[in-house]
Amino acid sequence: MPLDLEAFQKTRVYQRRATVAEVLEDLQALAPQSKRAPEVKPAPARSERDGMRRLGKGLLLATGVCIGALWLLPLDQRSGFFGLLLMLSFFMGLGGAMVFIASWLGAGFDSPMGASFWPATRSVEPDKEQRRLLLATLLERFRLDLLDAGPVEVTLDLSSPLAFGKSVHQGKHGDGTREDFADPWLSLQGRFADGTHLNVSMVDQVRMLKRTKTLPLKVKHQSKRTESSLIQVALRVKPERHPGLSAMEGRVRGVVQLPPGATLQQLRVAEDRMELRVLLKEGWVAQARAPEPSDLLPGKAQKASARKPDASHTVTMMLSSLHQVLNHSSSQGQPGKMRSTP
């Protein structure tokens, strides 16, 4: 089923089971409009605005005539004709003023009177763009290893991590309050060509601390937000192809290699699966850019984005570590193809 942008705008959640190429095409469609070819809007019609102004002036002029008739003609205030003129004066004056003002402001709104002055609606907000880029980067890297023409199952949640239903704890924290949120926004499942099942998931954790101080002349509100992210990479295999896998958990920890900013949280090894969970404490970027020569000058401070961990590189290193263990376990039943012990 092709991407339904209207449905996505309502839920901010993208879910699909399709080939890698089809998912990448959908992710490109979700890119901010600034990265796509801009849509050229027709120039506002000047004659329409002039017509609105003439209508407003006419209604205001008619209002003046009615008010003049009420002022000059000797009419009984209790008569129906007097009440009719008074009502017409009010409504024509109000309508004329509104139409006249709208004719001047019409060029700034998205209507027949002119183009919109509001920023173009983005399919993905700037603060969620890194999520879209991370999924696209992982699919590009893994597409050669994934089963040819095989489907992948993708869930990408681009709603706010503070959305209703994502709160997991709320209570007192010192002299203030604390609320914790868990946002499981990414799930990627697929099968490699050798039959290994891949599962990548990511959860953003947000903690909001709020405190109120009462001062003599004002009330001061303070808030603090901290974020961290959990990445989990799991592989499910056939036990007969990897004998003795469950006994290798102690050796796996020495094999795991992670980039700076990533901390090993959990490792599980069973007969038919391996799971690796890593914590990123200080935010992340989908793909770190290479430093420019000017960034390497002595004494120049690095940008904040340059110091954030590279999430796509972290996932790649986690997967590589797990594959090293699988390669060693598969060689246990093949004496002529023994690999180095991790």
Whether residue 161 is predicted with pLDDT greater than 70 in this model: the reply is: yes
52: left (phi over 0), alpha (psi -120 to 50) or beta: alpha
65 vs 228: which has the higher pLDDT: 228
48 vs 129: which has the higher pLDDT: 129
118 vs 48: which has the higher pLDDT: 48
What pLDDT score was predicted for residue 316?
A: 95
Q: What's the gap between Cα 256 and its chain centre?
A: 30
The three-state (H, E, C) secondary structure of the chain, written as one string: CCCCHHHHHHHCEEEEEECHHHHHHHHHHCCCHHHCCCCCCCCCCHHHHHHHHHHHHHHHHHHHHHHHHHHHCCCCCCCHHHHHHHHHHHHHHHHHHHHHHHHHHHHHCCECCECCCCCCCCCCCHHHHHHHHHHHHHHHHHCCCECCCCCEEEEEECCCCCCCCCEEEEEEECCEEEEEEEEEEEEEEEEECCCCEEEEEEEEEEEEEEEEEECCCCEEEEEEEEEEEEEEEEEECCHHHCCCHHHHHHHHHHHCCCCCCEEEEEEEECCCEEEEEEEECCCCECCCCCCCHHHHCCCCCCCHHHHCCEHHHHHHHHHHHHHHHHHHHHHHHCHHHCCCCC
What pLDDT score was predicted for residue 40?
A: 46
112 vs 133: which has the higher pLDDT: 133
In the chain, what is the straight-line distance between the N-terminal and C-terminal CA atoms, in Å?
A: 44
Provide the mean pLDDT of the chain: 78
Instruction: Name which of 159, 162, 201, 203 is nearest 180 in CA terms.
Output: 162
pTM over 0.85: no
Q: Which amino acid makes up residue 285?
A: V
pLDDT tens for 118-156 read 343 445 566 689 999 999 999 999 988 887 678 999 999
- State mean pLDDT over 177-198: 94
Instruction: Name which of 235, 133, 157 is nearest 190 in CA terms.
Output: 235
Whether residue 193 is predicted with pLDDT greater than 60 in this model: the reply is: yes
What pLDDT score was predicted for residue 31?
A: 87
What pLDDT score was predicted for residue 16?
A: 94
Q: Residue 70 contacts by C-beta under 8 Å, 6 or more apart in sequence? A: 82, 85, 86, 89
Banded model confidence at residue 78, pLDDT cuts 50, 70, 90: low
Whether residue 288 is predicted with pLDDT greater than 70 in this model: the reply is: yes
Main-chain phi, psi angles of 24, to 5 degrees: -60, -35
Distance (Å, whole) CA 249 – CA 268 = 7
Going from the C-alpha of 5 to that of each of 27, 31, 133, 136, 155, the distances in angstroms are 11, 11, 18, 18, 15
What pLDDT score was predicted for residue 3?
A: 82
- State mean pLDDT over 13-37: 84
202 vs 244: which has the higher pLDDT: 202
Whether residue 43 is predicted with pLDDT greater than 50 in this model: the reply is: no
